[in-house]
Amino acid sequence: MLKGKKIVLCVTGGIAAYKAATLTSLLKKAGCMIDVVMTSSAKQFVGPSTFQALSRRPVHDDLFTEKDPEQIAHIDLADKADLILVAPATANTIGKMANGLANDIVTTTVLASKAPVWVAPAMNVNMYHHPSVQKNLLTLRDMGYRIIEPGSGPLACGWVGKGRLSEPEDIFAALKLFFTDDDMQPLKGKCVLVTAGPTREGVDPVRYFTNYSSGKMGYAVARAAHAAGAEVILVSGPTSLKPPEGVELVNVISANEMYEQVMNRFDNVDAVIKSAAVADYRPKVINDHKIKKADSEMIVKMVRNPDILAELGSKKQDQILIGFAAESENIDEYAKKKLEKKRLDLIVANNILEDHSGFDSDTNHVTFFFPNGTEKDFELMSKEDVARQLCSSLASMFEKRAKQ
């Protein structure tokens, strides 16, 4: 997928420049022809000789020094690039690119190229969230640049928050996906909404009702759908999982919040895969203050939450709707009833009491049930493999509809 691709890696002046060395190594091993372009500030963190050794190519670090006198370096790089990646991208370079400024080898190369441009920001959390930086990133998005969202965590400056350069392995995986042939991306051109995780229903400021869902299945589905070429929206309840690269993440807490976010997007998606474990009930009253313990029993009155899947089934037009049935008994019976009652195109059923198939496990033993009576029972496999099987079935359903 990457062999022979010409990648221009633009390294700017941030501590995360060391990660660009790892990325260079990964790309070189994958068979890329990688040209590294550096700002003067970047050389304060990692020397050009490091990138030259890893890429086996000359490093371009000065606008007015031509390695080949018969070529203008930044024009030649811009013309030949299959993709330009700015990683790490500092606030300064982002600002210059957003405003069409070109006063160094990086910005002139970017401005002169018609190739796709990816930008991977890395900076202090407060810098990243500054309105001017966010405005510049929005401008770049509007120009068609792809922004590789930074991660959250401890930063080199001592702050904790969003601003860490995305990991080289994640960027590398995104590049592989970008250059994958269309026939290997059967969901390309489709928009798929995935729900994942549990919901929390508040009782008071310190207590809530929830369930054991970890979100692993839904996150695996989101990754698989993205790998298959789909535009993916992941509506997630509270989890500790890392958001999948390249997926739009919408965080929610309660069932009502999930209902609102899903219903607002339903008309604009091609499929919904609802793997979230949504609470069926919520407390009728949420106390503003902590409920103090007493000698008597505590009674919490509960009311029904909206049935998201049922409402989607009643409103769907051309969308494909897939649900999950996590049951502890009568698996087939309950799954088939849910399939019919909620007008689903596929339901994925599993026994939560079976070893290695319950919540928070990394594996699952599932059966696919279709409206025409077809059933597919799979052996115990990883949730990643279940997700790939699910996306394969989704692609087949789209293909059949296209032929009708």
pLDDT, tens digit, 9 for 90 and up, residues 95-144: 999 999 999 999 999 999 999 999 999 999 999 999 999 999 999 988 98
Q: How confident is the model at residue 16 (pLDDT cuts 50, 70, 90)?
A: very high
Beta strands (DSSP E) in 157-213 are: 160-164, 191-196, 201-204, 207-209
Q: How confident is the model at residue 181 (pLDDT cuts 50, 70, 90)?
A: low
Is the pLDDT at 34 greater than 90? The verdict is: yes
- Residue positions annotated with a catalytic role: 157
pTM metric for this prediction: 0.65
Give CA–CA dist 121/49, Å, rounded: 24
State the pLDDT at residue 95: 98
Burial class (CB in 10 A: 0-12, 13-18, 19+), 211: middle
Looking from the CA of 92 toward its CB, the CA atoms found within 13 Å total 12
Give percent of the chain above pLDDT 70.
99
- Residue 387 main-chain phi, psi, to 5 deg: -60, -40
Structure tokens at 179: 């250059």
Distance of CA 301 to the CA centre of its chain: 38
Domains and CATH numbers, the chain: 6-178 (3.40.50.1950), 186-287+300-403 (3.40.50.10300)
Give CA–CA dist 62/52, Å, rounded: 15
pLDDT tens column, 50-89 = 999 999 999 999 988 877 777 888 999 999 999 999 999 9
Q: Among candidates 227, 219, 113, which has minimal Cα distance to 179?
A: 227
Is the pLDDT at 152 greater than 90? The verdict is: no
- Residue 257 main-chain phi, psi, to 5 deg: -65, -40
pLDDT tens column, 233-263 = 999 999 999 888 889 999 999 999 999 999 9
Q: What are the binding residues for CTP?
A: 280, 290, 306-309, 324, 338, 342
Q: What are the binding residues?
A: 280, 290, 306-309, 324, 338, 342
- Residue 385 main-chain phi, psi, to 5 deg: -70, -40
Give CA–CA dist 360/382, Å, rounded: 12
Q: What is the mean pLDDT of the chain?
A: 93
